[in-house]
Structure 1
Amino acid sequence: MKFIVLVGDGMADYPIPELGDLTPLQAANTPNMDFIAKHGRNGVAKTVPESMTPGSDVANLSIMGYDPVQYYAGRGPLEAASMDVALGKDDIAFRCNLITEKDGLLADYSAGHISSEEARILIGAVDSELGNDCKFHAGVSYRHLLVMGQGERAVCTPPHDVVGQSIADVLPRGEDSEILIDLIRASKSILETHELNAKRKKDGKNIANLIWPWGQGKAPLMPSLMELYGISGSIISAVDLLKGIGKYAGLSVIDVPGATGYLDTNFSGKAAYALESLQERDFVFVHVEAPDEAGHMGNTEAKVRAIEDFDEKVVGGMLNELGGFGEYRIMVLPDHPTPVSIKTHTREPVPFALYSSTRKADYVNRFDEFSARNGVFGLVEGHTLMKLLTK
């Protein structure tokens, strides 16, 4: 038996007037996800506990079968694992964005989706100047890592949640926050005067003129998926966070050429590499960030297009070839909603559809936020999805 999970990050949304009060999932042409819904079984999953922030870290940990209340220790250590940065027992790992500050406002949480090559140079400059009692590690695009021995109790705000707000109003606060504020402020003179940012400004691009640490925590203690569910396999994602979850879960991380974590990602390549992995392994978890990025941009057209690309090139690319593997089960879902109207994550339950080559279907005819509510599974806790898939 082969097991497949396909996650379109942030696909779920609210009805949008410009789409005739349809959600992007309802408006998009999604014949492959509709096939899974029509010929499989459906429901809605609560992937984010009420006590937790609706982030991709918590939601995907839940989808992978781990109760976040028990296992979540922060986003930073998950990203550290994906970057092969070993954490000591007292180390605190922070996700560290490169952002754009303009006129005192947090203007762009991604510094114009800066390239990894440019970002590596800038993070290197910051580490050279500020990395005495801490260490900066370059990641992908605007997503980087800060490791230090303090700051765990500071209250830090995800930058994508406060775009357009005053920097002064959203700085880290509470205990342990001063060291982080000092690093943020010290980074400005280093980054703003860097020749690379001068070129970006000349080219009309947003400059990366501040660091922004958040999502901190210590290394978690997690059993593997083999220990919990008796399966092993692979994870495919362009996002360090997801790779880190996969490593802690005992999965092999597969890097796909051209996978960017953005709207231009290599959708078809992810399906091809997932199918290749299934030749040797029984489980693959495929994550696509593009719909979430479109949601954060507030771009309805881009979100519909990202959903259609996910359906055609990832879901369809998998479905067209799975018949050759014998018995299989495939689940498709978002991790959380990222409504374009508010440009950030929310905690509403998300639709999921599970198709099994050996089980009967329910009576849902298409895949979307509202149709799934009529499915046989009803409302389930997100961390039980892996049991539904494997048992």
Structure 2
Amino acid sequence: MKYVVVLGDGMADEPIEQLGGKTPLQAARTPVMDAMAKVSEQGIAYTVPENLPAGSDVANLAMLGYDPQKYYSGRSPLEALSIGVDMKDTDIALRCNIVTLSEDEAYEEKTIIDHSSGEITTEEAKVLIDAVKKELETEEFHYYPGVSYRHLTIWDHGYVADLTPPHDILGKQIGEYLPEESKLREMMKKSFDILDHHPVNQKRRQMGLNPANSIWFWGAGTRPALDDFEAKTGKKGAMVSAVDLLKGIAVGTHMLNLDVEGATGGLDTNYKGKAMAAVDSLTEEGADVVYIHVEAPDEMGHQGSVENKVKAIEFLDDQVIRVVAEELKKRGEDFRMLIGPDHPTPISIRTHSKDPIPFMIYDSTREIEGQKEYSEEAARSTGLVMEHGHDLMDRLLQK
């Protein structure tokens, strides 16, 4: 038996008037998931404990079977693992987004317009982070480029400062959300002067794109200590993701990290390439469990784009779930598949919520009486509630 997790990041939502009172998951054309729903188990699960932030870090740890109360040490340290930064026990990792701020006001009065700078390319972003690094790096603070708008700063002998995720304050004036730590705040202010008129951003403006004109620190944390996935579950695991957070979790848990050409973390990602890499890992590379993480629904939720969130879910259904299921059956493999988001990212708030997620577990070897569709409403209607989302992995593995 092979095991697959298809994680549509932020896929769950609330009913939207524009969609006739349906959620994006209900409105999307998802014939594969809906066919599975008729013979599968559905329910809801709480992936984010009340005392922890509703982040993809906490929620994906839970979906992988790691109790966040025990294993969570901050988001950025997990990304540091992916980038290959060997943190010391005295280091603090900080997520360093490059964001779009309004331009005319004093820094404290600026508004955050876009947490991802229009999903800036990794190539452009590296040039900008290198410019920041040249001006601001010291023995105390070190900068490392990541993927797209997601980068890393290591603070030597720092502390876990209370910092606000930029996607939580879209459209708001930033003054009251800036770090209390003066060193962090001053670097953010100086970064605007470095980046706002940088040639990369001048070109982006000419193309009608949002400039990436400031860094934004958040997600502080200490060096992580994660148990080996195979030792924990008895199964060899593989990870397919475009983002450093999930790649870092894979490094920390000693899962096989699968790199896929064209995997961007955006709506334009190489969905089929991810699906095929996952299947090959199960049938040719000895993996027992593969975790396919697709970031696009979450990004579209942050952008407030109803149309593109629906598209992302449709792409997930047709180019990931369909491809994986058909290929595994073609290769004679029995499999169980867990489908779900890590957390909701409702269009109405453009950020994550702690509401429970709808999940579905499909088994290619047996059919049960299921629901007419896979959706938030269908999952709630079954009455199955997993109070601890980290127990879902054991449920998938039938432990």
Q: State the TM-score, normalized to the length of structure 1.
A: 0.96
Is the 8 Å Cα contact of residues 232 and 250 (structure 1) preserved in structure 2?
Answer: no
Q: What is the CA deviation profile of residues 264-292 of structure 1, one whole-angstrom value per residue up to 9, with x for unaligned ones?
A: 11111111111111112111000001111
Is the 8 Å Cα contact of residues 362 and 375 (structure 1) preserved in structure 2?
Answer: no
Task: Give the superposition deviation at 1:203.
Answer: 2.6
Q: Which of 185, 189, 193 lines up with 1:181 in the alignment?
A: 185
* 3-state DSSP of counterpart to 2:38: helix
Gaps of 5+ in 2: 105-109
C-alpha distance in 2, partners of 1:18/1:309?
Answer: 20
Alpha-carbon distance change, 187 to 45 in structure 1, aligned in 2, over 3 angstroms = same
Which portions of structure 1, spanning 4 or more consecutive aligned residues, are displaced by more than 6 angstroms?
A: none
Q: What is the CA deviation profile of residues 15-36 of structure 1, one whole-angstrom value per residue up to 9, with x for unaligned ones?
A: 0111110111111111111223
Q: What is the CA deviation profile of residues 218-244 of structure 1, one whole-angstrom value per residue up to 9, with x for unaligned ones?
A: 111111111211111210011110111
Query: Which deviates further from its counterpart, 318-327 or 131-140?
Result: 318-327
The answer on 1:21 being equivalent to 2:25 is no
C-alpha distance in 1, partners of 2:132/2:141?
Answer: 11
Task: Give the superposition deviation at 1:151.
Answer: 4.2
Q: Where does residue 277 of structure 1 map in the other structure?
A: 281
Q: Which of 360, 384, 390 lines up with 2:391 in the alignment?
A: 384
C-alpha distance in 2, partners of 1:249/1:359?
Answer: 31
Q: What is the CA deviation profile of residues 364-383 of structure 1, one whole-angstrom value per residue up to 9, with x for unaligned ones?
A: 22100010123374334110
Query: Which deviates further from its counterpart, 373-382 or 180-189?
Result: 373-382
* 3-state DSSP of counterpart to 2:372: coil
* 3-state DSSP of counterpart to 1:126: helix
Is the 8 Å Cα contact of residues 151 and 180 (structure 1) preserved in structure 2?
Answer: no
Q: Where does residue 329 of structure 1 map in the other structure?
A: 336
Q: Where does residue 149 of structure 1 map in the other structure?
A: 156
Task: Give the superposition deviation at 1:360.
Answer: 4.2
The answer on 1:347 being equivalent to 2:354 is yes
Q: Where does residue 48 of structure 1 map in the other structure?
A: 48
- Cα RMSD over matched residues? 1.3
Q: What is the CA deviation profile of residues 176-229 of structure 1, one whole-angstrom value per residue up to 9, with x for unaligned ones?
A: x11111111121211123222222223332111110011011111111111211
Identity over aligned residues, as a percent? Answer: 48
Letter of the structure 2 residue corresponding to residue 211 of structure 1: I
C-alpha distance in 2, partners of 1:265/1:45?
Answer: 27
Is the 8 Å Cα contact of residues 115 and 170 (structure 2) preserved in structure 1?
Answer: yes
User: Residues 149-228 of structure 1: matches in 2 within 5 Å?
Assistant: 149-173=156-180, 177-228=181-232
Q: What is the CA deviation profile of residues 54-113 of structure 1, one whole-angstrom value per residue up to 9, with x for unaligned ones?
A: 111110000000010111000000001111111111111111100111141111111121
Letter of the structure 1 residue corresponding to residue 382 of structure 2: G
Is the 8 Å Cα contact of residues 92 and 160 (structure 2) preserved in structure 1?
Answer: no
Is the 8 Å Cα contact of residues 282 and 290 (structure 2) preserved in structure 1?
Answer: yes
C-alpha distance in 2, partners of 1:389/1:363?
Answer: 16
C-alpha distance in 2, partners of 1:53/1:90?
Answer: 23
C-alpha distance in 2, partners of 1:302/1:268?
Answer: 18
Is the 8 Å Cα contact of residues 160 and 222 (structure 2) preserved in structure 1?
Answer: no
Q: Which of 260, 266, 270 lines up with 1:262 in the alignment?
A: 266
Is the 8 Å Cα contact of residues 46 and 381 (structure 1) preserved in structure 2?
Answer: yes
* 3-state DSSP of counterpart to 2:376: coil
Q: Where does residue 303 of structure 1 map in the other structure?
A: 309
Q: Where does residue 235 of structure 1 map in the other structure?
A: 239
The answer on 1:111 being equivalent to 2:130 is no
Task: Give the superposition deviation at 1:138.
Answer: 0.6
Letter of the structure 1 residue corresponding to residue 156 of structure 2: G
C-alpha distance in 2, partners of 1:328/1:375?
Answer: 23
* 3-state DSSP of counterpart to 2:257: strand
C-alpha distance in 2, partners of 1:325/1:124?
Answer: 49
